[in-house]
Structure 1
Amino acid sequence: MNVVVVNDYDEMSKRAASIIASQVILNPKSVLGFATGDTPIGTYKELVKIYKEGYIDFSDVVTFNLDEYYSISKENPQSYNFYMKNYLFNHINVKDENIHMLNGMCDDIEKECTSYENLIKESGGINLQILGIGRNGHIGFNEPNANFEGVTHLVHLDKGTINANSRFFNSVEEVPTKAISMGIKTIMSVKKILLLASGIKKSEAVYHAVNGPITPKVPGSILQLHPDVTLILDKEAAYKISSRNEKYRNLSIVEGKK
Protein backbone atom coordinates (compact mmCIF):
# COMPACT_ATOMS: atom_id res chain seq x y z
CA MET A 1 0.00 0.00 0.00
CA ASN A 2 1.52 3.31 -1.12
CA VAL A 3 0.50 6.50 0.65
CA VAL A 4 1.15 9.89 -0.93
CA VAL A 5 0.58 12.85 1.39
CA VAL A 6 0.12 16.22 -0.31
CA ASN A 7 -0.55 19.70 0.98
CA ASP A 8 -4.16 20.25 0.04
CA TYR A 9 -7.20 19.24 -2.00
CA ASP A 10 -5.98 20.92 -5.19
CA GLU A 11 -2.69 19.05 -5.15
CA MET A 12 -4.49 15.79 -4.39
CA SER A 13 -6.74 16.36 -7.41
CA LYS A 14 -3.83 17.12 -9.74
CA ARG A 15 -1.85 14.09 -8.57
CA ALA A 16 -4.85 11.81 -9.06
CA ALA A 17 -5.67 13.22 -12.49
CA SER A 18 -2.07 12.72 -13.63
CA ILE A 19 -2.20 9.05 -12.60
CA ILE A 20 -5.48 8.50 -14.46
CA ALA A 21 -4.17 10.36 -17.51
CA SER A 22 -1.00 8.26 -17.50
CA GLN A 23 -3.10 5.09 -17.41
CA VAL A 24 -5.03 6.22 -20.50
CA ILE A 25 -1.90 7.35 -22.35
CA LEU A 26 -0.15 4.03 -21.70
CA ASN A 27 -3.27 2.01 -22.52
CA PRO A 28 -5.79 3.92 -24.68
CA LYS A 29 -8.25 1.03 -24.26
CA SER A 30 -8.17 1.18 -20.49
CA VAL A 31 -11.18 0.17 -18.42
CA LEU A 32 -11.65 2.80 -15.73
CA GLY A 33 -13.78 2.59 -12.61
CA PHE A 34 -15.13 5.90 -11.34
CA ALA A 35 -16.39 7.09 -7.97
CA THR A 36 -18.64 10.00 -7.05
CA GLY A 37 -19.11 12.40 -4.14
CA ASP A 38 -17.26 15.59 -3.22
CA THR A 39 -13.75 14.15 -3.21
CA PRO A 40 -13.17 13.31 -6.91
CA ILE A 41 -14.79 16.46 -8.35
CA GLY A 42 -11.46 18.29 -8.51
CA THR A 43 -9.82 15.26 -10.12
CA TYR A 44 -12.45 15.14 -12.84
CA LYS A 45 -12.06 18.86 -13.50
CA GLU A 46 -8.31 18.36 -13.88
CA LEU A 47 -8.91 15.44 -16.27
CA VAL A 48 -11.18 17.61 -18.41
CA LYS A 49 -8.45 20.26 -18.48
CA ILE A 50 -5.82 17.73 -19.55
CA TYR A 51 -8.17 16.42 -22.25
CA LYS A 52 -8.92 19.91 -23.61
CA GLU A 53 -5.20 20.60 -23.78
CA GLY A 54 -4.95 17.63 -26.14
CA TYR A 55 -2.87 15.26 -24.02
CA ILE A 56 -5.34 12.39 -23.67
CA ASP A 57 -7.94 10.65 -25.81
CA PHE A 58 -10.88 8.83 -24.19
CA SER A 59 -12.42 7.51 -27.41
CA ASP A 60 -11.46 3.89 -26.71
CA VAL A 61 -11.78 4.02 -22.91
CA VAL A 62 -14.48 1.92 -21.20
CA THR A 63 -15.94 3.06 -17.88
CA PHE A 64 -17.83 1.55 -14.96
CA ASN A 65 -19.17 3.39 -11.94
CA LEU A 66 -19.03 2.10 -8.39
CA ASP A 67 -22.62 2.67 -7.38
CA GLU A 68 -25.96 4.40 -7.80
CA TYR A 69 -28.85 5.31 -5.55
CA TYR A 70 -31.77 2.91 -5.80
CA SER A 71 -35.16 4.24 -6.92
CA ILE A 72 -33.74 7.40 -8.41
CA SER A 73 -33.84 8.16 -12.14
CA LYS A 74 -30.73 8.97 -14.16
CA GLU A 75 -32.24 12.37 -14.98
CA ASN A 76 -32.42 13.30 -11.30
CA PRO A 77 -29.70 15.90 -10.52
CA GLN A 78 -28.78 13.86 -7.43
CA SER A 79 -28.21 10.64 -9.39
CA TYR A 80 -24.65 9.53 -10.00
CA ASN A 81 -25.47 9.17 -13.69
CA PHE A 82 -26.22 12.91 -13.76
CA TYR A 83 -23.13 13.61 -11.65
CA MET A 84 -20.75 11.80 -14.02
CA LYS A 85 -22.13 13.53 -17.08
CA ASN A 86 -22.01 16.92 -15.38
CA TYR A 87 -18.45 16.65 -14.09
CA LEU A 88 -16.77 14.45 -16.68
CA PHE A 89 -18.53 12.58 -19.48
CA ASN A 90 -20.12 15.62 -21.16
CA HIS A 91 -16.69 17.26 -21.40
CA ILE A 92 -14.55 14.48 -22.88
CA ASN A 93 -14.78 12.24 -25.96
CA VAL A 94 -15.74 9.00 -24.21
CA LYS A 95 -18.31 7.08 -26.29
CA ASP A 96 -21.79 6.62 -24.85
CA GLU A 97 -21.71 2.91 -25.60
CA ASN A 98 -18.54 2.59 -23.50
CA ILE A 99 -20.10 4.14 -20.39
CA HIS A 100 -21.60 1.68 -17.91
CA MET A 101 -23.77 2.91 -15.05
CA LEU A 102 -26.01 1.01 -12.68
CA ASN A 103 -29.74 1.54 -13.23
CA GLY A 104 -31.27 2.94 -10.09
CA MET A 105 -34.77 2.41 -11.48
CA CYS A 106 -34.38 -1.25 -12.45
CA ASP A 107 -37.28 -3.61 -11.78
CA ASP A 108 -35.11 -6.65 -11.10
CA ILE A 109 -32.21 -5.94 -8.73
CA GLU A 110 -30.66 -9.39 -9.01
CA LYS A 111 -30.69 -9.26 -12.81
CA GLU A 112 -29.20 -5.75 -12.82
CA CYS A 113 -26.37 -6.79 -10.50
CA THR A 114 -25.58 -9.98 -12.42
CA SER A 115 -25.61 -8.12 -15.72
CA TYR A 116 -23.21 -5.49 -14.37
CA GLU A 117 -20.80 -8.14 -13.12
CA ASN A 118 -20.91 -9.86 -16.52
CA LEU A 119 -20.21 -6.60 -18.33
CA ILE A 120 -17.13 -6.01 -16.17
CA LYS A 121 -15.86 -9.53 -16.92
CA GLU A 122 -16.54 -9.14 -20.65
CA SER A 123 -14.53 -5.92 -20.66
CA GLY A 124 -11.51 -7.81 -19.38
CA GLY A 125 -11.72 -6.33 -15.89
CA ILE A 126 -11.11 -2.84 -14.53
CA ASN A 127 -7.56 -1.55 -14.98
CA LEU A 128 -7.81 1.38 -12.57
CA GLN A 129 -10.53 1.98 -9.98
CA ILE A 130 -10.98 5.35 -8.27
CA LEU A 131 -12.27 5.15 -4.71
CA GLY A 132 -13.25 7.53 -1.96
CA ILE A 133 -13.82 6.51 1.63
CA GLY A 134 -16.77 7.34 3.85
CA ARG A 135 -16.45 8.65 7.39
CA ASN A 136 -17.49 5.20 8.60
CA GLY A 137 -14.89 3.51 6.39
CA HIS A 138 -17.20 2.46 3.57
CA ILE A 139 -15.89 2.07 0.03
CA GLY A 140 -18.45 2.24 -2.73
CA PHE A 141 -21.63 1.87 -0.72
CA ASN A 142 -20.31 -1.16 1.16
CA GLU A 143 -21.32 -0.16 4.67
CA PRO A 144 -19.82 -1.54 7.91
CA ASN A 145 -21.30 -4.98 8.36
CA ALA A 146 -20.80 -8.40 9.88
CA ASN A 147 -19.46 -9.73 6.57
CA PHE A 148 -17.72 -8.43 3.47
CA GLU A 149 -20.26 -8.30 0.64
CA GLY A 150 -19.04 -10.05 -2.49
CA VAL A 151 -20.32 -8.85 -5.84
CA THR A 152 -22.59 -6.03 -6.98
CA HIS A 153 -25.59 -5.90 -4.66
CA LEU A 154 -28.39 -3.87 -3.10
CA VAL A 155 -27.33 -1.89 -0.02
CA HIS A 156 -29.36 -0.49 2.86
CA LEU A 157 -27.56 2.74 3.70
CA ASP A 158 -26.46 3.51 7.25
CA LYS A 159 -28.00 6.48 9.03
CA GLY A 160 -24.58 8.11 9.14
CA THR A 161 -24.21 7.83 5.36
CA ILE A 162 -27.72 9.17 4.82
CA ASN A 163 -27.03 12.13 7.11
CA ALA A 164 -23.67 12.81 5.44
CA ASN A 165 -25.25 12.74 1.97
CA SER A 166 -28.17 14.94 2.99
CA ARG A 167 -25.99 17.97 2.16
CA PHE A 168 -26.68 17.21 -1.51
CA PHE A 169 -30.46 17.19 -1.00
CA ASN A 170 -33.02 19.67 0.28
CA SER A 171 -33.58 17.58 3.38
CA VAL A 172 -32.47 14.29 4.94
CA GLU A 173 -35.91 12.87 4.14
CA GLU A 174 -35.14 13.14 0.42
CA VAL A 175 -32.00 11.01 0.61
CA PRO A 176 -32.54 7.48 -0.76
CA THR A 177 -32.18 4.79 1.89
CA LYS A 178 -30.91 2.17 -0.58
CA ALA A 179 -28.26 1.97 -3.29
CA ILE A 180 -26.74 -0.53 -5.70
CA SER A 181 -22.99 -0.94 -5.28
CA MET A 182 -20.07 -2.97 -6.54
CA GLY A 183 -19.18 -5.45 -3.82
CA ILE A 184 -15.88 -5.91 -2.03
CA LYS A 185 -14.96 -8.91 -4.20
CA THR A 186 -15.62 -6.83 -7.33
CA ILE A 187 -13.48 -3.97 -6.05
CA MET A 188 -10.67 -6.28 -4.98
CA SER A 189 -10.58 -7.91 -8.43
CA VAL A 190 -9.49 -4.69 -10.18
CA LYS A 191 -5.86 -4.40 -11.24
CA LYS A 192 -5.01 -1.06 -9.59
CA ILE A 193 -6.79 1.06 -6.99
CA LEU A 194 -6.43 4.79 -6.41
CA LEU A 195 -8.09 5.99 -3.20
CA LEU A 196 -8.54 9.71 -2.55
CA ALA A 197 -9.31 11.36 0.78
CA SER A 198 -9.42 14.99 1.85
CA GLY A 199 -10.22 16.75 5.09
CA ILE A 200 -9.90 16.08 8.79
CA LYS A 201 -13.29 14.34 8.90
CA LYS A 202 -11.81 11.48 6.85
CA SER A 203 -8.68 11.05 8.99
CA GLU A 204 -10.22 8.52 11.38
CA ALA A 205 -11.51 6.32 8.54
CA VAL A 206 -8.15 6.53 6.75
CA TYR A 207 -6.30 5.60 9.93
CA HIS A 208 -8.36 2.47 10.52
CA ALA A 209 -8.35 1.50 6.84
CA VAL A 210 -4.56 1.42 6.63
CA ASN A 211 -3.76 0.35 10.18
CA GLY A 212 -6.17 -2.56 10.50
CA PRO A 213 -7.39 -4.84 11.76
CA ILE A 214 -8.94 -6.04 8.53
CA THR A 215 -12.61 -6.20 9.34
CA PRO A 216 -15.98 -5.70 7.62
CA LYS A 217 -16.69 -3.15 10.35
CA VAL A 218 -14.24 -0.94 8.41
CA PRO A 219 -14.79 -2.02 4.79
CA GLY A 220 -11.84 0.04 3.54
CA SER A 221 -9.45 -2.07 5.65
CA ILE A 222 -9.74 -4.88 3.08
CA LEU A 223 -7.57 -2.77 0.74
CA GLN A 224 -4.55 -3.81 2.80
CA LEU A 225 -4.79 -7.15 0.99
CA HIS A 226 -4.80 -5.68 -2.53
CA PRO A 227 -1.44 -5.86 -4.35
CA ASP A 228 -1.59 -2.41 -5.98
CA VAL A 229 -3.21 0.36 -3.93
CA THR A 230 -2.20 4.02 -3.84
CA LEU A 231 -3.75 6.48 -1.40
CA ILE A 232 -3.47 10.19 -2.17
CA LEU A 233 -4.29 12.16 0.96
CA ASP A 234 -4.15 15.80 1.84
CA LYS A 235 -2.45 16.61 5.14
CA GLU A 236 -5.70 16.77 7.07
CA ALA A 237 -6.89 13.35 5.89
CA ALA A 238 -3.42 11.93 6.65
CA TYR A 239 -3.21 13.58 10.07
CA LYS A 240 -3.58 10.43 12.18
CA ILE A 241 -1.30 8.20 10.14
CA SER A 242 1.31 10.93 9.72
CA SER A 243 1.42 11.59 13.47
CA ARG A 244 1.90 7.89 14.21
CA ASN A 245 4.38 7.02 11.48
CA GLU A 246 6.21 4.43 13.56
CA LYS A 247 3.21 2.12 13.16
CA TYR A 248 3.37 2.22 9.39
CA ARG A 249 6.58 0.44 8.52
CA ASN A 250 4.64 -1.63 5.98
CA LEU A 251 3.59 1.49 4.07
CA SER A 252 5.45 3.58 1.55
CA ILE A 253 4.68 7.15 2.64
CA VAL A 254 5.75 9.91 0.27
CA GLU A 255 5.41 13.55 1.19
CA GLY A 256 4.17 15.86 -1.52
CA LYS A 257 5.83 19.07 -2.62
CA LYS A 258 6.13 21.82 0.00
Structure 2
Amino acid sequence: MALSSQTTALAQIPRVHIFPTAGEAADAVAEHLLATVKRNPKSVLGLATGQTPRHVYAKLVHAFREGKISFCDVETFNLDEYCGLTASHPDSFAAFMQRELFGLADFDPRKTNLINGDVQDVVAEARRYATRLKESGAVDVQLLGLGTNGHIGFNEPGSASDSHVRVVDLADETLSANQPSLIELTSVPERAITIGIADILHAREIVMLATGSAKAGAVRRSLREAPSTDCPASFLGTHQAVHWYLDNAAAAEIG
Protein backbone atom coordinates (compact mmCIF):
# COMPACT_ATOMS: atom_id res chain seq x y z
CA MET A 1 0.00 0.00 0.00
CA ALA A 2 1.31 3.40 -0.97
CA LEU A 3 2.13 5.95 1.67
CA SER A 4 -0.20 8.90 2.08
CA SER A 5 0.66 12.03 0.13
CA GLN A 6 0.51 13.81 3.49
CA THR A 7 3.51 11.89 4.81
CA THR A 8 6.64 13.64 5.93
CA ALA A 9 10.23 12.65 5.16
CA LEU A 10 9.79 9.80 7.60
CA ALA A 11 7.84 8.03 4.88
CA GLN A 12 11.16 6.77 3.58
CA ILE A 13 11.17 4.25 6.45
CA PRO A 14 9.95 0.94 4.96
CA ARG A 15 6.41 -0.11 5.76
CA VAL A 16 5.45 3.00 7.74
CA HIS A 17 2.16 4.42 6.46
CA ILE A 18 1.04 7.80 7.78
CA PHE A 19 -2.42 9.28 7.24
CA PRO A 20 -3.94 12.64 8.14
CA THR A 21 -6.60 11.16 10.42
CA ALA A 22 -7.17 8.15 12.64
CA GLY A 23 -10.15 7.15 10.52
CA GLU A 24 -8.08 7.02 7.35
CA ALA A 25 -5.41 4.93 9.06
CA ALA A 26 -8.04 2.48 10.30
CA ASP A 27 -9.62 2.34 6.84
CA ALA A 28 -6.26 1.36 5.38
CA VAL A 29 -5.82 -1.39 7.97
CA ALA A 30 -9.28 -2.73 7.17
CA GLU A 31 -8.41 -2.81 3.46
CA HIS A 32 -5.21 -4.68 4.31
CA LEU A 33 -7.16 -7.35 6.20
CA LEU A 34 -9.86 -7.58 3.53
CA ALA A 35 -7.23 -8.06 0.83
CA THR A 36 -5.65 -10.83 2.91
CA VAL A 37 -8.93 -12.72 3.24
CA LYS A 38 -9.80 -12.23 -0.42
CA ARG A 39 -6.46 -13.76 -1.42
CA ASN A 40 -6.89 -16.62 1.02
CA PRO A 41 -10.41 -17.21 2.38
CA LYS A 42 -8.93 -19.63 4.92
CA SER A 43 -6.60 -17.03 6.40
CA VAL A 44 -5.63 -17.13 10.07
CA LEU A 45 -5.96 -13.69 11.65
CA GLY A 46 -4.66 -12.54 15.01
CA LEU A 47 -7.03 -9.93 16.43
CA ALA A 48 -6.78 -7.16 19.00
CA THR A 49 -9.33 -5.44 21.21
CA GLY A 50 -9.69 -1.93 22.57
CA GLN A 51 -10.82 1.37 21.11
CA THR A 52 -8.22 1.48 18.33
CA PRO A 53 -9.47 -1.45 16.19
CA ARG A 54 -13.20 -0.68 16.53
CA HIS A 55 -13.31 1.32 13.30
CA VAL A 56 -11.38 -1.45 11.52
CA TYR A 57 -13.95 -4.02 12.58
CA ALA A 58 -16.81 -1.75 11.53
CA LYS A 59 -15.31 -1.61 8.03
CA LEU A 60 -15.01 -5.40 7.91
CA VAL A 61 -18.65 -5.77 8.95
CA HIS A 62 -19.70 -3.23 6.31
CA ALA A 63 -17.85 -5.15 3.60
CA PHE A 64 -19.60 -8.36 4.69
CA ARG A 65 -23.03 -6.73 4.68
CA GLU A 66 -22.35 -5.33 1.22
CA GLY A 67 -21.70 -8.88 0.03
CA LYS A 68 -18.06 -8.13 -0.77
CA ILE A 69 -16.48 -10.70 1.56
CA SER A 70 -17.17 -13.81 3.61
CA PHE A 71 -15.35 -14.74 6.79
CA CYS A 72 -16.87 -18.20 7.20
CA ASP A 73 -13.58 -20.01 6.59
CA VAL A 74 -11.35 -17.56 8.47
CA GLU A 75 -9.76 -18.70 11.73
CA THR A 76 -9.02 -16.10 14.39
CA PHE A 77 -6.95 -15.89 17.56
CA ASN A 78 -7.42 -13.09 20.05
CA LEU A 79 -4.37 -11.59 21.69
CA ASP A 80 -5.46 -11.53 25.30
CA GLU A 81 -8.19 -11.65 27.94
CA TYR A 82 -8.70 -10.39 31.47
CA CYS A 83 -8.54 -12.98 34.24
CA GLY A 84 -11.74 -13.55 36.19
CA LEU A 85 -14.31 -12.53 33.57
CA THR A 86 -16.78 -14.82 31.84
CA ALA A 87 -17.07 -14.63 28.06
CA SER A 88 -20.50 -13.04 28.48
CA HIS A 89 -19.31 -10.29 30.83
CA PRO A 90 -19.61 -6.94 29.00
CA ASP A 91 -16.05 -5.98 29.95
CA SER A 92 -14.47 -9.21 28.68
CA PHE A 93 -12.63 -9.13 25.39
CA ALA A 94 -14.70 -12.10 24.25
CA ALA A 95 -17.85 -9.98 24.62
CA PHE A 96 -16.14 -7.07 22.86
CA MET A 97 -15.35 -9.25 19.86
CA GLN A 98 -18.92 -10.53 19.75
CA ARG A 99 -20.33 -6.99 19.85
CA GLU A 100 -17.91 -5.45 17.39
CA LEU A 101 -17.22 -8.22 14.89
CA PHE A 102 -18.07 -11.88 15.36
CA GLY A 103 -21.77 -11.36 16.01
CA LEU A 104 -22.14 -9.01 13.05
CA ALA A 105 -20.59 -11.12 10.27
CA ASP A 106 -20.43 -14.78 9.27
CA PHE A 107 -17.50 -15.90 11.41
CA ASP A 108 -17.69 -19.57 12.40
CA PRO A 109 -17.73 -19.78 16.22
CA ARG A 110 -15.75 -23.00 15.98
CA LYS A 111 -12.90 -21.04 14.39
CA THR A 112 -12.85 -17.98 16.64
CA ASN A 113 -10.27 -18.86 19.27
CA LEU A 114 -10.62 -16.96 22.53
CA ILE A 115 -8.86 -17.18 25.86
CA ASN A 116 -11.11 -18.27 28.73
CA GLY A 117 -10.47 -15.87 31.60
CA ASP A 118 -13.08 -17.48 33.82
CA VAL A 119 -11.07 -20.48 34.99
CA GLN A 120 -9.54 -21.42 38.32
CA ASP A 121 -6.28 -22.58 36.77
CA VAL A 122 -5.20 -19.68 34.57
CA VAL A 123 -1.77 -21.23 34.01
CA ALA A 124 -3.39 -24.33 32.54
CA GLU A 125 -5.58 -22.12 30.35
CA ALA A 126 -2.48 -20.33 29.07
CA ARG A 127 -0.96 -23.72 28.20
CA ARG A 128 -4.16 -24.78 26.42
CA TYR A 129 -4.22 -21.64 24.32
CA ALA A 130 -0.52 -21.92 23.52
CA THR A 131 -1.08 -25.48 22.29
CA ARG A 132 -4.04 -24.42 20.15
CA LEU A 133 -2.05 -21.55 18.65
CA LYS A 134 0.83 -23.88 17.82
CA GLU A 135 -1.48 -26.44 16.24
CA SER A 136 -2.92 -23.85 13.89
CA GLY A 137 0.44 -23.03 12.33
CA ALA A 138 1.53 -19.44 11.75
CA VAL A 139 -0.95 -16.59 11.92
CA ASP A 140 -1.14 -14.97 8.48
CA VAL A 141 -1.72 -11.41 9.73
CA GLN A 142 -1.48 -10.27 13.34
CA LEU A 143 -3.31 -7.03 14.10
CA LEU A 144 -1.87 -5.03 16.99
CA GLY A 145 -2.61 -1.90 18.93
CA LEU A 146 0.03 -0.03 20.92
CA GLY A 147 -0.02 0.80 24.61
CA THR A 148 1.22 4.19 25.73
CA ASN A 149 4.00 2.35 27.56
CA GLY A 150 4.91 0.38 24.44
CA HIS A 151 3.05 -2.80 25.27
CA ILE A 152 1.72 -5.10 22.55
CA GLY A 153 -1.02 -7.47 23.58
CA PHE A 154 -0.55 -7.35 27.33
CA ASN A 155 3.21 -7.76 27.05
CA GLU A 156 4.14 -4.98 29.43
CA PRO A 157 7.62 -3.40 29.73
CA GLY A 158 10.00 -6.05 30.99
CA SER A 159 8.56 -8.72 28.71
CA ALA A 160 11.22 -10.76 26.94
CA SER A 161 11.33 -11.29 23.19
CA ASP A 162 11.11 -15.06 23.71
CA SER A 163 7.96 -14.88 25.86
CA HIS A 164 4.95 -17.05 25.02
CA VAL A 165 1.32 -17.30 26.17
CA ARG A 166 1.24 -16.66 29.90
CA VAL A 167 -0.45 -14.95 32.83
CA VAL A 168 0.71 -11.37 33.42
CA ASP A 169 0.23 -8.55 35.91
CA LEU A 170 -0.94 -5.37 34.21
CA ALA A 171 1.05 -2.18 34.62
CA ASP A 172 -0.50 0.80 36.41
CA GLU A 173 -0.34 2.79 33.16
CA THR A 174 -2.34 0.09 31.39
CA LEU A 175 -4.92 -0.06 34.17
CA SER A 176 -5.40 3.71 33.94
CA ALA A 177 -5.58 3.70 30.15
CA ASN A 178 -8.21 0.93 30.08
CA GLN A 179 -10.38 2.35 32.86
CA PRO A 180 -12.51 4.60 30.58
CA SER A 181 -13.46 1.60 28.41
CA LEU A 182 -15.17 -0.27 31.24
CA ILE A 183 -18.91 -0.89 30.94
CA GLU A 184 -19.88 -2.56 34.23
CA LEU A 185 -16.70 -2.98 36.27
CA THR A 186 -15.51 -0.14 38.48
CA SER A 187 -11.86 -1.10 38.10
CA VAL A 188 -9.77 -2.92 35.51
CA PRO A 189 -8.76 -6.51 36.39
CA GLU A 190 -5.13 -6.53 37.46
CA ARG A 191 -4.19 -9.79 35.72
CA ALA A 192 -4.64 -11.12 32.19
CA ILE A 193 -3.58 -13.94 29.90
CA THR A 194 -1.73 -12.77 26.83
CA ILE A 195 -0.04 -14.16 23.77
CA GLY A 196 3.70 -13.57 24.12
CA ILE A 197 6.08 -11.51 22.04
CA ALA A 198 7.59 -14.63 20.46
CA ASP A 199 4.09 -15.73 19.46
CA ILE A 200 3.42 -12.34 17.86
CA LEU A 201 6.71 -12.41 15.99
CA HIS A 202 5.84 -15.87 14.64
CA ALA A 203 3.09 -14.36 12.49
CA ARG A 204 3.83 -14.17 8.78
CA GLU A 205 2.83 -10.50 8.73
CA ILE A 206 2.15 -7.93 11.46
CA VAL A 207 -0.08 -4.86 11.16
CA MET A 208 0.24 -2.18 13.83
CA LEU A 209 -2.43 0.51 14.12
CA ALA A 210 -1.53 3.42 16.40
CA THR A 211 -3.42 6.69 16.45
CA GLY A 212 -3.62 9.78 18.61
CA SER A 213 -1.06 11.99 20.29
CA ALA A 214 -0.98 9.81 23.42
CA LYS A 215 0.74 7.10 21.35
CA ALA A 216 3.40 9.39 19.84
CA GLY A 217 6.08 8.65 22.43
CA ALA A 218 5.60 4.89 22.21
CA VAL A 219 5.67 5.06 18.40
CA ARG A 220 8.95 6.99 18.48
CA ARG A 221 10.55 4.55 20.91
CA SER A 222 9.33 1.56 18.92
CA LEU A 223 10.64 2.83 15.60
CA ARG A 224 13.70 4.83 16.61
CA GLU A 225 15.23 2.89 19.48
CA ALA A 226 16.99 -0.48 19.54
CA PRO A 227 14.83 -3.47 20.53
CA SER A 228 14.53 -3.53 24.29
CA THR A 229 12.36 -5.00 27.03
CA ASP A 230 11.73 -1.39 28.12
CA CYS A 231 9.49 -0.97 25.06
CA PRO A 232 8.06 -4.32 23.96
CA ALA A 233 6.84 -2.96 20.61
CA SER A 234 10.45 -2.21 19.68
CA PHE A 235 10.90 -5.96 19.12
CA LEU A 236 8.70 -5.60 16.04
CA GLY A 237 11.78 -4.15 14.38
CA THR A 238 13.24 -7.66 14.25
CA HIS A 239 10.35 -8.92 12.08
CA GLN A 240 10.63 -8.89 8.29
CA ALA A 241 7.03 -7.95 7.48
CA VAL A 242 5.63 -5.31 9.84
CA HIS A 243 3.35 -2.53 8.59
CA TRP A 244 2.84 0.50 10.82
CA TYR A 245 -0.37 2.45 10.15
CA LEU A 246 -0.30 5.82 11.92
CA ASP A 247 -2.20 9.07 11.89
CA ASN A 248 -0.33 12.37 11.95
CA ALA A 249 -0.78 12.73 15.69
CA ALA A 250 0.79 9.35 16.50
CA ALA A 251 3.63 10.02 14.05
CA ALA A 252 4.39 13.48 15.43
CA GLU A 253 7.64 12.54 17.20
CA ILE A 254 9.29 10.49 14.50
CA GLY A 255 9.84 13.11 11.80
Is the TM-score greater than 0.5?
Answer: yes
- Cα distance in 2 for partners of 1:125, 1:149 equals 16
1:162/1:172 contact within 8 Å kept: no
Aligned partner of 1:230 in structure 2 is: 243
Aligned partner of 2:166 in structure 1 is: 153
Superposed counterparts of 1:72-221, under 5 Å: 72-145=85-158, 147-148=160-161, 150-169=163-182, 174-221=187-234
- Return the offset for 1:119: 1.2
Deviation track 1:93-136 (CA, whole Å, cap 9, x = no partner) reads: 01010010001112222221121122112222210000000000
- Return the offset for 1:147: 3.5
Aligned partner of 1:246 in structure 2 is: none
- Cα distance in 1 for partners of 2:159, 2:44 equals 31
Aligned partner of 2:10 in structure 1 is: none
- Cα distance in 1 for partners of 2:61, 2:185 equals 32
1:142/1:149 contact within 8 Å kept: no
Secondary structure of the equivalent of 2:62?
Answer: helix
Aligned CA distance change for structure 1 residues 137 and 28 (closer, same or farther; 3 Å): same
Which amino acid in the other structure matches residue 58 of structure 1? F
- Return the offset for 1:171: 9.2
C-alpha root-mean-square deviation of aligned residues, in Å? 1.4
Structure 1, gaps ≥5 residues long: 244-258
- Return the offset for 1:52: 1.0
- Cα distance in 2 for partners of 1:208, 1:172 equals 32
Deviation track 1:239-258 (CA, whole Å, cap 9, x = no partner) reads: 111x2xxxxxxxxxxxxxxx
Deviation track 1:31-58 (CA, whole Å, cap 9, x = no partner) reads: 0000011100000001111111111111
1:195/1:231 contact within 8 Å kept: yes
- Cα distance in 2 for partners of 1:78, 1:172 equals 7
Structure number with higher relative contact order (C-alpha < 8 Å, ≥ 6 residues apart)? 1
Higher alpha-carbon deviation: 122-131 or 80-89? 122-131
Secondary structure of the equivalent of 1:179?
Answer: strand
1:163/1:172 contact within 8 Å kept: no
Structure 2, gaps ≥5 residues long: 1-13
Aligned CA distance change for structure 1 residues 85 and 182 (closer, same or farther; 3 Å): same
Secondary structure of the equivalent of 1:64?
Answer: strand
- Return the offset for 1:148: 3.8
Runs of at least 4 residues off by over 4 Å: 170-173
Secondary structure of the equivalent of 2:85?
Answer: coil
- Return the offset for 1:169: 2.7
- Cα distance in 2 for partners of 1:70, 1:146 equals 18
- Cα distance in 1 for partners of 2:184, 2:86 equals 18
Which amino acid in the other structure matches residue 67 of structure 1? D
Aligned counterpart for 1:17 among listed residues 19, 30, 40: 30
